[in-house]
Amino acid sequence: HRDYASVVALVDTVSSDTVLSHEEDMILQFLHSGRHDVDHHPDAHACRLKISFVMLDAPVKLPWVLTAEMAHYIAKLSQVSANCRLSAEEELALLNTCIVDVADPRFRKAPVTIYQVILCKNRRAQLRAEAAGTRACLVETPVRRRS
């Protein structure tokens, strides 16, 4: 049963800055385990990002790659339900922890693509510009390889 709106409402009531109990960690890890298909619905990405946001200060390892999850959310942003959308502040807080440059040493180790990194970088630039009251910002486009 895909009740994304209820998930978002419940997640907004949770916060943690402590280590999760074994049971809590098992539940978190199950949300993105190989035991079931990962939900690729636009609202499912939003739900995982909401969980990521409330867990920002907690010393936990999320079971998904934040940069990849954010890139999926950005790519499907027009299809995310209004009640599941992240606020600009939530997006910026998460984007500030994402890989947004291929020069970031984490890029070599993370299972993310250049396209995903650039999506996150451009979205962060857009949100920063909007926060500053500017309607324009610089964006980067991936270099196309010639075949």
Does residue 17 carry a pLDDT above 80? Answer: no
At 147 the pLDDT is 62
Torsion-angle region of 133 (φ positive above 0: left; ψ -120 to 50: alpha; else: beta): left
Please give the C-alpha separations between residue 126 and each of 36, 66, 121, 133, 140, in angstroms, as whole numbers.
Answer: 35, 19, 9, 11, 11
Q: Is the pTM of this model over 0.85?
A: yes
At 34 the pLDDT is 62
Please give the C-alpha separations between residue 130 and each of 17, 33, 76, in angstroms, as whole numbers.
Answer: 30, 36, 20
Q: Which carries the bigger pLDDT value, residue 23 or residue 54? A: 54
Torsion-angle region of 119 (φ positive above 0: left; ψ -120 to 50: alpha; else: beta): alpha
What is the per-residue pLDDT across 56-69, written as a single tens digit (0 to 9) for each? 888 888 888 999 99
Residue 135: band (very low, low, confident or very high) from pLDDT cuts 50, 70, 90: confident
